[in-house]
Amino acid sequence: MRFIADRMLGKLATWLRIFGYDTLYVGDFETEDEDLFLLENFRDRTLLTRDKELYDRAVRRKRKAVLIKNDSVIDQISEMRDLGIDTDIKMDRCSVCNSILRKPADEEAKEVMEKEGIEENLKERYELWYCEKCKKLYWLGSHYRNMVRFLENLK
C-alpha cells in the first residue's frame, strides 16, 4: 500500500515509513492549496486525512481515502493497524524523506559519523542503513529501542 498524508498527519507519515510503507507527506511539497493538491495528485495512493471535509471531497471524486479519527499518533497507528497495516519496524525507508535505504559504503558511513560528531565506529557494533538523499545513517540503537517501547502502547 502507498499513501499520501495531509498536514495533520506528519507523525503518522513518519511511522508508516518506519513500518516500510511508501508514504508521502503534503508538507514535503510546495503548494498554495494543499487540499486541491491532495485531491488531484498521486491518485495511485490512498489519501490519509484528519479533515472530514477533505475526506468527503475525496470520496465524491472516487479517490481512495481514509479518515483518521484520533489525535494521538499511537491511536492513529492503531487505526491503521485495524485497517491491515503491519506495525513491525522495518529498515526499508528513510523516515525523513521516504527514500529507499541501502547499506552504506565505508566512506559514506565515515563521512556521516564525522559530520554528526559520532566518535564510536557504528559499523563495528551495528548493521547500518543509509539514505542517499538525506545523507543520514540508521542503526538499531537506543532510538530503535525507544520506538519498540512506544509501540508496546498499541491497543
The reported pTM is 0.92
Q: Closest Cα partner for 22 from 84, 74, 99, 118?
A: 99
pLDDT, tens digit, for every residue of 4-55? 999 999 999 999 999 999 999 999 999 999 999 999 999 999 999 999 999 9
pLDDT, tens digit, for every residue of 96-153? 999 999 999 999 999 999 999 888 788 888 999 999 999 999 998 888 999 999 999 8
* Domain 2-82, CATH among 3.40.50, 3.90.460, 1.20.1740, 2.40.30: 3.40.50
What is the band of 155 on the pLDDT scale with cuts at 50, 70, 90? low
The burial class, CB within 10 Å (0-12 / 13-18 / 19+), for 3 is buried
Whole-number pLDDT of residue 153:
87
Domain boundaries, the chain: 2-82, 106-151
